[in-house]
């Protein structure tokens, strides 16, 4: 149990930094939805969707490669120096290629080639700085300097948040303010990270290390691209919707950019589950590498799966039950502003579906332990590409008929499928006996409870009271159903 407490401790610290950072960053959602119309916010959504894709190329799997090979602290300086040098070189080449290919790339993210080049150049700068912060951040995680890691994360968001408010509310800037704020925040924190990890630059650039990290890390490129497709390609499908289909679904003449903006704003409410997955992942990778050879590692990993599902289940029930109340929370210092402006509430029905999707993404993170430990990362691209194919196919089929809900369903199906595929391969490598069937039953029952609560107002009863009671029942049910019992079978 001490190992679980260690993981919980690191997860809590990473989680605290992520919660604070995400909370501060999330303050930008009511800010953006208050100052920007849905079509403008739709353009911002496309820019950062492109960022997700391009960030995979700029990082080319080197974060995971560093965690894998810098575990040997005698070799860490050479690994650090080699990977950082590679990131600088590759990042600079990609930045130049993006500059040369601007006429092709900019229209894809709804930027005008002649009027919006400054925004595009800022995007390139953010990508370059963020790539160069990956390995210093990974070093802090690897040596368990979680509070230092947390501090830099929070500082980054505070700079970003402050500049956004000043440039948009104070100076009246438009979309370019969002990019300037991100660039300055990324630049400041990256330079700070370089300073505190400068001793590792004393290492030697090593060609054997280059070969080693590329063989391990490059499979993460198609894997990352697959995840990027799964995560953000829906924005591009929504942005390409036929206005006639939009009016048929919603009864209002929204533009495709409106739908993209509404979807992205409501998507943000899934942050509660996404945050859980991300803060768990930060602690999980160093943890399972540390205990990869422990005699009881299979039991520990199975217990970790149970505890993750307890927290995910509680979040799913609690957020799904009160999504409207959360969206309509009053935001201080914004007058009558709410967490999400009421112009965006049309998309709130997608939130429970997306919470489920990220729950399954958390499964994928848990199951990655066996593949990572046994250095079988070459199978990951195939799995995520299967997911990407599902995402593309379902968005193509469902978006014209169901709009935003079609994209949310595509995301859920994708993450569920790739989680089960990875489970199959991970079990072959590590043979951890996760309680899959029982957890699926819990997911099915809690989803039914959420559905009942959604329609409780049709039963002529007080919907809020019903939801409060059902939430309490759901939370207790999740905890006692999934509490680890150290079984030896599913």
Q: Which pLDDT score, from 0 to 100, does residue 293 have?
A: 67
pLDDT tens readout for residues 346-389? 888 899 999 999 999 999 989 888 887 777 777 888 888 899 99
Q: What is the DSSP letter of 329?
A: P
Among 9, 392, 381, 463, residue whose Cα is nearest residue 216:
381
Smallest CA-to-CA distance from 14 within 184, 128, 138 is with 138
DSSP for 13-71 reads: HHHHHHHHHHHHHHTHHHHHHHHS-HHHHHHHHHHHHHHHHHHHHHHTTHHHHHHHHTT
> Which residue carries 């799904």 as its tokens?
320
What integer is the mean pLDDT of 285-313? 81
Q: Are 266 and 351 in contact (CB under 8 A)?
A: yes
For 470, residues 6+ apart whose C-beta sits below 8 A from its C-beta are 317, 321, 449, 452, 453
% of the chain surpassing 70 pLDDT:
89
Q: Does pLDDT of 449 surpass 90?
A: no
Query: Does residue 120 surpass a pLDDT of 50?
Result: yes
**Which candidate, 176, 439, 126, places its Cα nearest to that of 312?**
439
Quick one: pLDDT at residue 329? 79
Checking if the pLDDT of 210 tops 80, the result is yes
**For residue 444, what pLDDT is reported?**
92
Would you say 327 and 31 are in contact if contact means Cβ atoms under 8 Å apart? no
pLDDT for residue 278 is more than 70: yes
Mean pLDDT of the residues in the chain: 83
- Residue range 388-407: mean pLDDT, rounded: 93
The pLDDT confidence band at residue 2, using thresholds 50, 70 and 90, is low
For helices 297-321 and 463-482, the axis angle rounded to 10 degrees is 180
Q: Give domain limits for the chain.
A: 1-27+233-490, 61-217
Predicted pLDDT of residue 461: 46
Helix H or strand E encompassing 344: none
Which pLDDT score, from 0 to 100, does residue 187 have? 95
Read off the pLDDT of residues 129-181 as tens digits, 9 standing for 90 and up.
999 998 899 888 787 777 788 788 888 888 988 998 899 888 888 888 989 99
Mean pLDDT of the 83-99 span: 93
Which has the higher per-residue pLDDT, 428 or 445? 445
Residues 6+ apart with CB under 8 A from 284: 7, 11, 304, 365, 366, 369
Residue found by looking up tokens 């159903």 in the block: 481
Residue 1 pLDDT class (50, 70, 90 cuts): low
Q: CA 399, CA 368: separation in Å to the nearest integer?
A: 31
Q: How far apart are CA 34 and CA 28, in angstroms?
A: 9
CA distance 289 to 10: 14
338 backbone dihedrals φ, ψ, rounded to 5°: -110, 170
What is the mean pLDDT of the segment spanning 97-104? 90
The answer to whether the beta carbons of residues 127 and 95 sit under 8 Å apart is yes
**Could you say which DSSP state residue 322 is in?**
T
Q: How would residue 471 be classed by pLDDT, with cut points 50, 70 and 90?
A: confident
Reduced to 3 states (helix: H, G, I; strand: E, B; else coil), residue 485 is coil
**Highest mean pLDDT, choosing among 3-17, 262-276, 455-469:** 262-276
Cβ neighbours, 10 Å, residue 421: 18
Least confident of 20-29, 213-222, 255-264, 381-390: 20-29
Residue reference for tokens 């800022």: 122
pLDDT at 179: 92
Please state, in angstroms and rounded to a whole number, the distance separating the CA atoms of residues 209 and 68: 12
Q: Give percent of the chain above pLDDT 90.
A: 27
The pLDDT of residue 26 is 61
Q: What is the dihedral of CA 387, 382, 231, 435, to 10 degrees?
A: 70
Spatial separation of the C-alpha atoms in residues 354 and 316, rounded to whole Å: 10
pLDDT band (50, 70, 90) for residue 487: very low
Half-sphere exposure at residue 379, Cβ-oriented, CA atoms within 13 angstroms = 17
Q: Is the dihedral of CA 410, 416, 421, 425 positive or negative?
A: positive
pLDDT exceeds cutoff 60 at 119: yes
Quick check: 159 and 185 in contact, CB under 8 A? yes
What is the mean pLDDT of the segment spanning 403-410? 94
Which pLDDT score, from 0 to 100, does residue 76 have? 85
pLDDT for 20 equals 60
pLDDT of 460: 42
CA separation for the pair 432, 299 (Å, rounded): 7
Quick check: 478 pLDDT over 60? yes
pLDDT at 282 over 80: no
Given a cut of 60, is residue 25 above it in pLDDT? no
* φ, ψ for residue 246, nearest 5 deg: -60, -45
Phi, psi of 330 (to 5 degrees): -70, 135
Global confidence as pTM? 0.74
In angstroms, the CA 234 to CA 350 distance is 13
pLDDT higher than 90, residue 463: no
């Amino acid at each position: 149990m001490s190992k679980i407490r260690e993981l919980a401790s690191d997860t809590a610290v990473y989680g605290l930094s992520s919660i604070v950072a995400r909370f501060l960053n999330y303050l930008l959602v009511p800010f953006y939805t208050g100052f920007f119309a849905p079509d403008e916010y739709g353009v911002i959504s496309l820019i950062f969707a492109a960022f997700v894709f391009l960030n995979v190329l700029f990082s080319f799997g080197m974060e995971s490669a560093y965690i894998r090979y810098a575990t040997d602290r005698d070799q860490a300086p050479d690994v650090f120096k080699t990977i950082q040098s590679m990131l600088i070189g590759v990042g600079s080449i990609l930045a130049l290629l993006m500059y040369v290919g601007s006429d092709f790339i900019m229209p894809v993210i709804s930027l005008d080639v002649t009027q919006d080049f400054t925004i595009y150049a800022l995007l390139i700068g953010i990508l370059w700085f963020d790539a160069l912060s990956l390995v210093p951040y990974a070093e802090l995680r690897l040596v368990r300097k979680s509070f230092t890691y947390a501090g830099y994360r929070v500082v980054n968001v505070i700079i970003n948040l402050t500049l956004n408010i000043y440039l948009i509310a104070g100076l009246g800037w438009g979309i370019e303010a969002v990019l300037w704020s991100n660039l300055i925040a990324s630049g400041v924190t990256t330079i700070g990270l370089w300073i505190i990890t400068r001793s590792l630059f004393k290492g030697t650039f090593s060609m054997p290390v280059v070969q080693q990290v590329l063989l391990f890390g490059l499979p993460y490129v198609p894997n990352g691209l697959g995840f990027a497709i799964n995560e953000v390609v829906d924005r591009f499908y929504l942005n390409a919707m036929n206005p006639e289909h939009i009016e048929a679904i919603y009864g209002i003449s929204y533009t495709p950019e409106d739908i993209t903006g509404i979807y992205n704003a409501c998507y943000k409410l899934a942050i509660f589950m996404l945050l859980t997955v991300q803060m768990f992942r930060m602690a999980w990778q160093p943890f399972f590498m540390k205990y990869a050879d422990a005699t009881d590692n299979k039991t520990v990993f199975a217990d970790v799966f149970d505890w993750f599902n307890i927290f995910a289940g509680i979040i799913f029930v609690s957020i799904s039950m009160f999504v409207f109340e959360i969206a309509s929370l009053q935001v201080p210092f914004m007058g009558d502003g709410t967490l999400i402006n009421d112009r965006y509430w049309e998309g709130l029905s997608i939130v429970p579906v997306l919470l489920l999707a990220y729950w399954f993404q958390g499964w994928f993170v848990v199951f990655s332990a066996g593949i990572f430990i046994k250095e079988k990362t070459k199978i990951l691209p195939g799995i995520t590409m299967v997911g990407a194919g599902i995402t593309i196919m379902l968005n193509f089929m469902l978006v014209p008929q169901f709009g935003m809900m079609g994209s949310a369903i595509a995301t859920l199906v994708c993450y569920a499928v790739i989680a089960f595929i990875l489970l199959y391969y991970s079990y072959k490598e590590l043979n951890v006996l996760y309680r899959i069937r029982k957890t699926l039953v819990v997911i099915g029952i809690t989803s039914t409870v959420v559905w009942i609560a959604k329609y409780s107002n049709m039963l002529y009863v007080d919907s809020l009271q019903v939801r409060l009671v059902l939430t309490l029942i759901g939370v207790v049910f999740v905890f006692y159903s999934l509490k680890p019992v150290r079984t030896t079978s599913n």
